[in-house]
Structure 1
Amino acid sequence: MTKRDAAVDDSCPVARSVDLIGDRWSLLIVRDAFDGMRRFTDFQRNLGVARNILADRLRRLVEAGILAIQPSAKGGAYQEYVLTERGQRLFPVVVALRQWGEVELFAPDEAHSDLVEKKTGKSLRRMAPVGEGGNLLAPGETEVRKLPL
């Protein structure tokens, strides 16, 4: 993942977000962290990513304040990577990508995982942009406005 110098000057929140977490490995690390993974070896085993790439992405996620390093909860010399509050706020992003993928990338009868609410065991409702009055908004019903400095 090459870092673009222009990202800091870019006034588009999407561009800045993609520059920070938009590569495959970073998003999958965050996904796995939401699923409870914390140790380097667990991320590496689950993702099958090269150790040097994993180390680089973990370092970047820590530098960005998305993950934090802490001593292992089980003791010992191991360290764990845990989602920070900033990282926790990525949950809707991961859910939206998951839901889009379920609809757009799987055949209706094709098996895939499902995200359910622990308390009820039911699938989450589809995420969608909602207007001030609670109505679902289509892309044509929104516009981007640049905020003054």
Structure 2
Amino acid sequence: MTLPRDYGGQTCALSRSMEIVGERWTLLIVRDAFYGVRRFGEFAAHLSVPRAVLTDRLATLTGAGVLERRPDTGRREVYVLTDKGLALWPAVRALSEWGDLFYPSAGGPRRVHLHAADDAPVGDDGRCSGCGAEVPVGDLVVAPGPGLAPAGPDADPVTAALGRPHRLLTPLLPRHSPREVVER
């Protein structure tokens, strides 16, 4: 039996939020959008999510105004976080930190966040450990942490690219990467 998408009878803000971001794969799609994943094929290859499910989740996120589709090259479009989507960063960060604390990877966190201005780590409170500034998401760099295993030769392009430091919200892959992923 398929569960309904809404939380009938629930009227709190959390239940309304879960109707948008609470389905399986949705927060991973949002996380990848923060990492700079833009194209349908990049999401599909990195997450190994069934294409029909990805299509549905992207439609929900665009319909809710969390992501928007923008023209890129030719007939292709890219998905970009809106202001509403950017406002999800504290929740994505907090859930990631919660997972690192209670379900840690062997060797430590797989990814760490650094302040782009001084390369200092950013703490759980969103502040730079070097300068003390509160760091907005656009000024964060995601970098490999001690628990990240090296990407193998068969890794998808997103996984391979995330093996190097990368500023959040900037496209992770060039428009025409050597290992172009299948587009929708």
Q: Normalised by the shorter chain, which TM-score bucket? A: 0.7 to 0.9
SS of corresponding position for 1:24: coil
Matches within 5 A, 1:1-149: 2-4=4-6, 6=8, 10-72=10-72, 75-106=73-104, 109-127=107-125
Displacement of 1:98 = 1.1
Larger strand percent: 2
Residue-pair matches, total: 124
After the TM superposition, which parts of structure 1 deviate over 4 Å for at least 4 consecutive aligned residues?
Answer: none
- Larger helix percent: 1
The change in CA–CA distance for 1:120 and 1:81 in structure 2 (over 3 A counts) is same
Letter in 2 for 1:123: P
1:107 to partner: Cα distance: 5.8
For 1:16-55, what per-residue CA distance to the aligned partner results, in whole angstroms no more than 9, with x for missing partners?
1112101231100100000011100000001000100000
Q: Are the aligned partners of 2:114 and 2:121 in contact in 1 as well (CA < 8 Å)? A: yes
- The answer for unaligned runs of 5 or more in structure 1 is 129-149
Q: Which amino acid is the alignment partner of residue 53 of structure 2?
A: I
Structure number with greater Rg is 1
**TM, length-normalised to structure 1:** 0.75
Relative contact order, higher structure (CA 8 A, sep 6+): 2
Letter in 2 for 1:4: D
1:54 aligned partner, one-letter code: L
Q: What percentage of residue pairs aligned between the two structures are identical?
A: 35
Paired amino acid for 1:65: G
- Partner residue, 1:138: none
Deviation at 1:115, TM superposition (A): 1.9
Letter in 1 for 2:33: A
CA distance in 2, matches of 1:107, 1:81: 29
Q: What amino acid is the match of 1:41?
A: G
Runs of at least 5 residues in structure 2 that lack an aligned partner in the other structure: 127-184
Per the alignment, do residues 5 and 102 of structure 1 end up closer, same or farther by CA in structure 2, a change over 3 Å counting?
A: closer
Q: Distance in 2 between matches of 1:103 and 1:52?
A: 33
TM-score (norm: length of structure 2): 0.62
Task: Tell me by how many angstroms 1:67 deviates.
Answer: 0.4
Cα gap change, 1:99 to 1:17, in 2 (>3 Å)? same
